[in-house]
Chains A and B, each alone.
Chain A
Amino acid sequence: MRCFLLLFYLLVIHSTAVKAMEINSKVVSCSAVIETEQTNMDLQKFRGKVVYLDFWATWCPPCKKSMPFLNALRNELHDQGFEVIAVNVDEDSDDARQFLQQYPVDYLVAMDPTGQCPQQYDVKAMPSAYFIDRKGIIRHIHLGFRERDKQQIRSLILDLLAEK
């Protein structure tokens, strides 16, 4: 009986206990690894910067489509305090490494093959982007990527950069 209760507790109660990130909540760091810096992704380090936290995968065509735009935007606004952090969620991170060798980007890429980060952020679509302000608060969540989204993304980032 005790064994049965324990099994029930582990399977049912623990399966739903995930606290999701929402708009106006503070960002938390997760287990993704930034390979170029050989460190865990620590979002507290980016306090004072506007961060575009992007969840992407190589099997996701809109994710790949967004990358040249994000790279150009990052390079344009980097001096004003803008940074893009792209968390790759491929189960095999080698897929992402090969893709990035072919199509390199200037922004930071973190690898999370375990899927812990997207679970923590309650990612609802691929790609999903979290706009984080200078105080480390999520201000907007953008799902998917289409050509017509470029203008909206740009103006949202400019608005956040204008805040002091």
Chain B
Amino acid sequence: MKKNLNFLFKFVCLVLFLFFVTACSVAPWERGNLAKKNMQISPNPVRSYLRSHVFDSKEASSGGYGAVGGGCGCN
């Protein structure tokens, strides 16, 4: 019985610990590294644009890179 209670206590502590740990977030003043240019999804927007332009011309198709719009078909 005591062993079970001990296990239950540890389990509850672990769940609470995981809850608090996952609730961590990057504070607004800690975003210096995230704001760096090489942290962007597309670190070189001009080069990406040029490549997509060449791709569009060669393949006669464009788009399909992202998930823009809410599915209304208006975008």
Q: B21 — nearest CB in chain A belongs to which residue?
A: A11
Number of contacting residues on A, CB 8 A?
22
Q: Which residues of B contact A90 (CB under 8 A)?
A: 32
B32 to chain A, nearest CB (A): 5
Band of interface residues on B: 10 to 19
Q: B17 — nearest CB in chain A belongs to which residue?
A: A12
Q: Which of B23-31, B58-66, B67-75 contacts A (4 or more CB under 8 A)?
A: B23-31
Q: Which residues of B contact A89 (CB under 8 A)?
A: 29
Point out the residue from B10, B16, B33, B35 that lies within 8 Å of A60, measured CB to CB. B35
Q: A118 with B28: in contact, given A11-B17, A16-B20 (CB under 8 Å)?
A: yes
Interface of B, helix, strand, loop or mixed by DSSP: helix
Q: Which residues of A contact B17 (CB under 8 A)?
A: 8, 11-12
Q: Which residues of A contact B16 (CB under 8 A)?
A: 8, 12
Measured in the bound complex, the distance between the Cα atoms of B36 and A118 in whole Å is 21
Q: Which of A37-45, A98-106, A120-128 contacts B (4 or more CB under 8 A)?
A: A120-128
Q: Which residues of B contact A126 (CB under 8 A)?
A: 28-29, 31
Measured in the bound complex, the distance between the Cα atoms of B10 and A125 in whole Å is 37
**What are 14 contact pairs spanning A and B, CB under 8 A?**
A4-B10, A8-B16, A8-B17, A11-B21, A15-B24, A16-B20, A55-B29, A59-B35, A89-B29, A91-B30, A119-B27, A119-B29, A125-B28, A128-B28
Closest 6 A-B residue pairs measured CB to CB? A59-B35, A89-B29, A118-B29, A59-B32, A12-B20, A126-B28
